[in-house]
Chain A
Amino acid sequence: MINALRWLIFAIAALGMNFPILVTLATSFKSARELSTNPGLWVQAPTLDNYFAVFQVSDRLNIFLYLFNSITVAFIGTTLAVVLALPAAYAIARGKLGERTLLPFIVNLRAVPLIIFAIPLYMMFQWLALLDTRLGLGLILSIVNLPLALVILVNAIRDLPAELDEAALMDGASRAQILLSVIAPVCRPAIVTSLIFGFITAWNEFLFGLMLTTSKAVPITVGASFFFAASGGGVQWGVASAVMVVGALPPILLGLIMYRQISGSMTAGAVKG
Chain B
Amino acid sequence: MNTQRAHSSEFRLLVTPLVLFLLVFLGFPAIVNLIYSISDVSFETLRQPRITGLSNFAAVWNDSAFWQASWFSLRFGVLTALLECGLGLFLAIFLSPLIERRSWLMAILMLPLMVAPALVGLMYRLVLHEFAGPVPYYLWAWFGASFSFLGPTSAFWTLIVVETLQWTPFALLLFYMAYRAIPTEIVEASAMDGARRWHLLWFIELPLMAPTIVVALLIRFIDGFRVFDNVYVLTGSGPGGSTASLSIYIYEAFFKQGAIGKAVAASVILFAVSFAVLYGLNLIASRRKGAVK
Contact = CB atoms under 8 A, between A and B. Distances in A.
B193 interface: no
A90 B14 contact: yes
Contacts of A121: 25, 29
Nearest to A87: B14
Interface in A197-241: 200, 203-207, 210-211, 221-222, 224-225, 228, 235, 237, 240-241
B267 interface: yes
Interface in A134-166: 139-140, 142-143, 146
Interface of B: 7-8, 10-15, 17-19, 21-22, 25-26, 28-30, 32-33, 36, 46, 91, 94-95, 97-98, 103, 105-120, 122-127, 129, 131-134, 136-138, 165-166, 168-170, 173-174, 177-178, 211-212, 215-216, 219, 222, 225-226, 228-229, 232-233, 246-247, 250-251, 254-255, 260, 263-264, 267-268, 270-271, 274-275, 278-279, 282
21 contacts: A6-B98, A18-B112, A23-B123, A23-B127, A39-B131, A85-B18, A87-B14, A106-B22, A117-B30, A121-B29, A122-B254, A175-B10, A204-B114, A206-B229, A206-B232, A207-B228, A207-B229, A228-B122, A237-B132, A263-B177, A270-B219
B266 to A, nearest CB: 8
Contact of A6 (B25, B94, B228): B94
Given A7-B98, A228-B122, A266-B170, A97 B15 contact: yes
Interface of A: 3, 6-7, 9-10, 13-14, 16-21, 23-24, 27, 35-36, 39-41, 83-85, 87-88, 90-92, 94-95, 97-98, 102, 104, 106, 108-109, 111-124, 126, 139-140, 142-143, 146, 174-176, 179, 200, 203-207, 210-211, 221-222, 224-225, 228, 235, 237, 240-241, 244, 247-248, 251-252, 254-256, 259-260, 262-263, 266-267, 270-271
Contacts of A241: 126
Contacts of A36: 131
Given A108-B282, A116-B250, A207-B247, A14 B18 contact: no
Main secondary structure of the interface of A (DSSP, over half): helix
B126 A24 contact: yes
Contact of A112 (B8, B114, B138, B278): B278
Contacts of A27: 126, 132
A116 B12 contact: no
Given A18-B111, A221-B116, A251-B114, A84 B21 contact: yes
B15 A88 contact: yes
Given A206-B229, A237-B129, A260-B103, A211 B119 contact: no
A204 B117 contact: yes
Contact of A84 (B11, B17, B263): B17
Given A244-B119, A247-B119, A179 B14 contact: yes
B33 A120 contact: yes
Contact of A14 (B12, B109, B127, B232): B109
